[in-house]
Structure 1
Amino acid sequence: MSASHNKQIYDVVIVGSGAGAMSAAVFAADKGQSVLVVEKTDKYGGTSALSGGGIWLPNNHYFRNKGGKDSHELAMQYLQHSTGGRVESERLKAYLDNAPEMIRYLEENSRVSYAVAEKYPDYYQHLEGALPGGRTLDPELFDTSVLGDEVENQRKASPSTLLMGKIAWTARDAHKAMARESGWRWMLIKLMLRYKFDFKQRKKTRRDKRAGLGGSLVAALRQSMRDRNIPLWLNTDFTDFVMENDKVAGIRVTTQQGEQTIYARKGVIMGSGGFEQNQMLRDKYLAKPSRKEWSATPPNANTGAALVAGQKLGAATDLLDWCWWAPTISVPREDKARGVFAERAFPGAIVVDGNGQRFFNEAAPYLEFGDAMYRNHQASGGKSIPAWVIFDASFRFNYAMGPLMPGQIMPDSRLPKDWHNNLYWKADSLDELASSINISASGLKDTVAKMNHFAQTGVDEDFDRGGNVFDRYYGDRNVKPNPCLAPINKGPFYAMRMDAGDIGSKGGLLTDEYARVIGESGSPIKGLYAIGNCSASVMGTSYPGAGATLGPAMTFGYIAANHIASQASEADTSEQHQSVA
């Protein structure tokens, strides 16, 4: 970054550099606005770069082109059921109207490239309007060599989103491998050989030249910004808004050169993430216990600056007691916790509380699972945070769990020594295992006996695990009669600690159908827009499908950019009329 930024006035200033913020920058630039993007940390990409990169877009043309059947009406029915009246219908309608347009525009005018994950089901299969697949789009791999040295400034993907912690793949590839669909072994061999034989890249770095998932989306958006010469300032920390004539006229930031004021002629778009990395705000708003260290988001990045500054302006807020919950596992020497998304559905692992009892369907969506951890924690007298994932030697050999790759490729002898009794616990009997992690041995043995019976009959009589198409998405299709259930009977037995983590906070500044921040008076705060996790989610307390965080962030970025441009053109027209008069 240069020693000083001489241009301090832009049409649109965007705070944050995740998928929503960078999409908004592309849309605003294409509407003829001068745009600046500022990022607090020394890396661009935010939580988006660590994510699966999927976007949940009902009624998209990718699915239609493959003969899929969806409609605005069906999607609205599903969203109204899943959000349960917590979200204004105007905002839901704005999302459903604009999301298909947004992705078509990006496909035709940027480097972003998606394909439909047609087997990825909506999360709430019991609700009217849910589909068994077709609404989640998965990024294609992106060749980052076009970025040159700029790729070094991108936040690195989480090891949990890479094959063997280093090889890029798509969510469709990952599903094929985890569900052990036909051809999965050959696919993995091809991916590994492609990585290994990229000699030019291997000489330089272990990092895969190709990016997948969230890394692909972020790299494609960054290159789309570069194509438009949109400046991105790193190490630029937003501190407050500049108000002039009852309008947000810019922002104050702290850079390595000191404090600066940047003016925005037409609008400020906040895309700066939630507040989950701010322990004081967690303590103030979220259920207890709650630790920022349990979050799977970038440490020190999402500290709620937009929320605090917005509240000073009198902005209304909503959903502040909610996160995008996801159970997490903390790995020694890693700077953030890892979300546990797919592995809970694999057959032969269960999650229990301190009483040794299951409390929820392990294969359920991660938001609901995290919420269940809190609800059971209250009901069980503080016994399910942390919870414990339990599995046996057969599971250990065949499947991954967090950073533990299947034992057939990563036996215990190859695991770091300090992981034992720290990341995982191991014992020859269930009694001994329960004792080592301080949970009820009799409770655990009863639970395992019951689960072994369920595995035989194929029916989980307690929580119906594997009873719907979403549960079975990550189940092992070769396991009968239920791909999510297998016995736990072969020692040694294993346990891993699972915390009540998150992939971002869900509540924030309340916005309207144009992404404008609403004041407590009910009127929009002029010149201020918010998208992504610094705004109260359009999904309410629900998580309708994979990509229901990024899809709205990018769509409301599109809506905000279009609204700013339309307001600007109306103002220009009005000025012309006045000068003629």
Structure 2
Amino acid sequence: MTTQVQSQSAYDVIVVGSGAGAMAAAVVAADQGLSVLIVEKSDKYGGTSAISGGGIWIPNNHYFAEKGGNDSFDKAFTYLKASTEGKIDEERLRAYLEYAPRMIHYLETRSRVRYTVAEKYPDYYPHLPGSLPGGRTLDPELFDTSLLGDELNNLRKPSPSTLLMGRIAWTARHAHKAMAREFGWRLMILGLMARYKLDIKWRRKTKQDRRAALGSALIGSLRRSLMDRQVPLWLRTDFRELMIKDGRVAGIKVCRDGQMLTLEARRGVIFGSGGFEQNQALRDKYLPQPTRAGWSATPPANNTGAALEAGMAAGAATDLLDWAWWAPTIHVPGEEKPRGVFAERAFPGAIVVNGLGKRFVNEAAPYLEFGDAMYREHQKGGKAIPAWVIFDAHFRFHYAMGPLMPAQVMPDSRLRKEWLNSVYWKGDSLADLARQIGVDAGGLESTVKRVNEFARTGIDVDFGRGGNVFDRYYGDSNVKPNPCLAPLAKGPFYAMRLDAGDIGTKGGLLTNANAQVLHQSGEPIPGLYAIGNTSASVMGTSYPGAGGTLGPAMTFGYIAAQHIAANR
């Protein structure tokens, strides 16, 4: 639609969305002397970024180099070309690898954002050339939320699963140490609990931890950085359509407080408002079946694809619309969204089976590949949607799974009664458990017998679980010979349903190396930029490492802001 712009308010740059990429773009644009407005549909800022792990995948970063790490542009480029299988424009790959280290150095030196390197967190595809066993993923430092003042009330709250005891902030490094049961993990947890308990002045105001971690830390630090720059962020402001004048995107229409407003963007509009995973109609149109918005681990009623549809209406090209950032999820009654199951699948003593009672994937595989395997198996008739994670009493005592904390901390008697036969199922025998969940009993018993032999030898002949550095990252370092394999032998036995969920869609508006949205003709649409999940991922159908979503979102936000400033 072409509409003459009659602005009620004007800015140099308007950013749609308030996730990490959007906020990073706004910070950089403001530093370039541009007037900036952020508009956010929800009554909370931070989007999916705020409930994420907050990690960013930044090859050749200065944090790793300062610790003596050995990385390079060429190594990372070799790895990205291999993981994206030549399907992504090399100019975009080069732009990402060139500007990602600059972006995080910029934010560290000029904003409140603080990271440190996760030296032990390996790339997701250790078998590919150019991969590293650690050093490319950066983990947010804890952030003091008292710096936000009243704006803390508008920050999207983290998922309970990302907090220690559902309340205490801890970094991904803390969580890994506890999950892998590394030396000193119990003392570390006691220290975190003591820090929280002794902050008496803060706890008189709220039970929420003063410190934020993971995605909350990232978003909190970015929001404080925007406050330092007096950049306005409008909540409850719903983007409706692009305004185009003389072939150039010149602004947007929004609905705010029930009133339609026309906002002029003199230099550019940056879409950073997420994907379309909460729009069931678009899921049905583009994603593999079956698909449900209710399986997604992202905030309900947000990420509905409005920016995608507006870009397409303006003639934009698209790519990867049939892909999402797959992640298996568990539904917990009473919670606003399902919980993603990320690390727990690698713990020894739990397996995942289809409706035939058979394994179909390496349980410790990256969550993108795990979700893709669910669809591939289901399409072959393997009844893998839903899939079922199965474990025994020994696993239940020692390890967490979804909302179930280890029984040594939270025995079955302390679990919510409504969770039985909805969140978890329990049987005295494998046959009894199989009957309850509708899985073939013979297939399940045969699978468990086979896996128990793998646990004895330490070699998963079928899927190679625990056979690489990524698998072992979340394994139990005390379990030998394979930290990801243990027998299922002690009743009662447990099952939990895994849905084919996601942490966002992967496809979107096609962009170039400057984050400019491309028309179907191949030329940039003047004045329009897209980053994060609104754009087709620079990672293609791959997920090269932890932070492979937020890293590109923030990097191309940085690039977009710089490009707008350089072409004013």
Classify the TM-score, shorter chain: over 0.9
Q: Distance in 1 between matches of 2:9 and 2:356?
A: 59
Residue 62 of structure 2 corresponds to residue 61 of structure 1: yes
Question: How far apart are residue 257 of structure 1 and its match?
Answer: 4.0
CA distance in 2, matches of 1:558, 1:259: 30
Partner deviation per Cα, 1:104-125 (whole Å, 9 max, x = no partner)? 0000000000000000000000
Partner residue in 1 for 2:313? 312
The whole-number CA distance in structure 2 between the counterparts of 1:546 and 1:48 is 13
- Tell me the amino acid that sits aligned with residue 200 of structure 2: F
Q: Distance in 2 between matches of 1:386 and 1:86?
A: 30
Letter in 2 for 1:380: G
Aligned pairs (5 A) from 1:112-261: 112-261=113-262
Q: What per-residue deviation string (whole Å, max 9, x for no partner) do you get for residues 559-579 of structure 1?
A: 0000000101xxxxxxxxxxx
Superposition map of 1:137-536 within 5 A: 137-381=138-382, 383-536=383-536
Q: Which amino acid aligns with 2:467?
A: G
1:34, 1:157 → 2: CA distance?
30
Letter in 1 for 2:522: G
Matched residue, 2:84: 83
Q: Secondary structure at the match of 1:204?
A: coil
The share of aligned pairs that are identical, in percent, is 70
Deviation by residue 1:54-96 (Cα, 9 ceiling, x = unmatched): 0000000000000000000000000000000111000000000
Q: 1:380 deviation in Å?
A: 2.4
Q: Which amino acid aligns with 2:412?
A: D
Q: How far apart in 2 are the matches of 1:25 and 1:397?
A: 47
- Could you tell which deviates more after superposition, 119-128 or 193-202? 193-202
Please report how far the alpha carbon of residue 7 of structure 1 lies from its aligned counterpart in structure 2 after TM superposition: 6.7
Deviation at 1:430, TM superposition (A): 0.3
CA distance in 1, matches of 2:129, 2:521: 35
**Equivalent residues of 2:8, 2:261 under 8 A apart:** no
- AA partner of residue 297 (structure 1): T
Q: Aligned-pair distance for 1:149?
A: 1.3
Aligned to 1:573: none
Q: Secondary structure at the match of 1:562?
A: helix
Q: CA contact under 8 A between 2:507 and 2:536: conserved in structure 1?
A: yes
What is the alpha-carbon distance in structure 1 between the residues aligned to residue 189 and residue 380 of structure 2? 44
Per-residue Cα deviation, 1:302-357 (whole angstroms, up to 9, x for no partner): 00001111110010000000000000001010010100000000000000000000
User: Which residue of 2 is the match for residue 42 of structure 1?
Assistant: 43
Deviations 1:114-160 (A, max 9, x none): 00000000000000000000000000000000111110100000111
Aligned residue for 2:3? none
Superposed CA RMSD in Å reads 0.7
Structure 2 letter corresponding to 1:78: Y
CA drift of 1:193 comes to 1.0
Structure 1 residue runs of 4 or more that deviate by more than 4 Å after TM superposition = none
Task: Kindly indicate whether residue 562 of structure 2 is the aligned counterpart of residue 558 of structure 1.
Answer: no
Unaligned runs of 5+ in 1: 1-5, 569-581
Report the secondary structure of 1:32's partner residue. coil
| Mapped pair 1:567 → 2:567 | yes
| Per-residue deviation, 1:225 | 0.0
Tell me the distance in 1 between the aligned counterparts of 2:75 and 2:481: 32
Structure-2 change in CA distance of 1:153 and 1:81 (3 Å): same
Distance 2:125 2:332 in 1: 31
Give the distance between the partners of 2:336 and 2:258, measured in 1 at CA: 28
Q: TM-score, normalised by structure 1?
A: 0.96
Matched residue of 1:405: which SS?
A: coil
SS at 1:273 equivalent: coil
Match status 1:539 vs 2:549? no
Indicate if the aligned counterparts of 2:120 and 2:133 stay in contact, CA closer than 8 A. Answer: yes
Question: Which whole-Å CA distance do the structure 1 matches of 2:566 and 2:23 have between them?
Answer: 20
For residue 88 of structure 1, what is the amino acid of its counterpart?
D
Alignment length, in residue pairs?
562
- Once the two structures are TM-superposed, the CA of residue 98 in structure 1 deviates from its matched residue by 0.3
CA displacement, residues 454-513 of structure 1 (integer Å, 9 cap, x when unaligned): 000000000000000000000000000000000000000000000000000000000000
Contact 2:8–2:262, Cα closer than 8 Å, also in 1:
no
- Residues 264-301 of structure 1: CA distance to partner in whole angstroms, max 9, x if unpaired? 00000000000000000000000000000100000001
Give 1:200 deviation, angstroms. 1.6
The C-alpha deviation readout for 1:392-441, integer Å capped at 9, x for no partner, is 00000000000000000000000000000110000100000000001100
TM-score by length of 2: 0.98
Q: Whole-Å Cα distance in 2 between the matches of residues 79 and 553 of structure 1?
A: 16
**Partner letter of residue 423 of structure 2?**
L
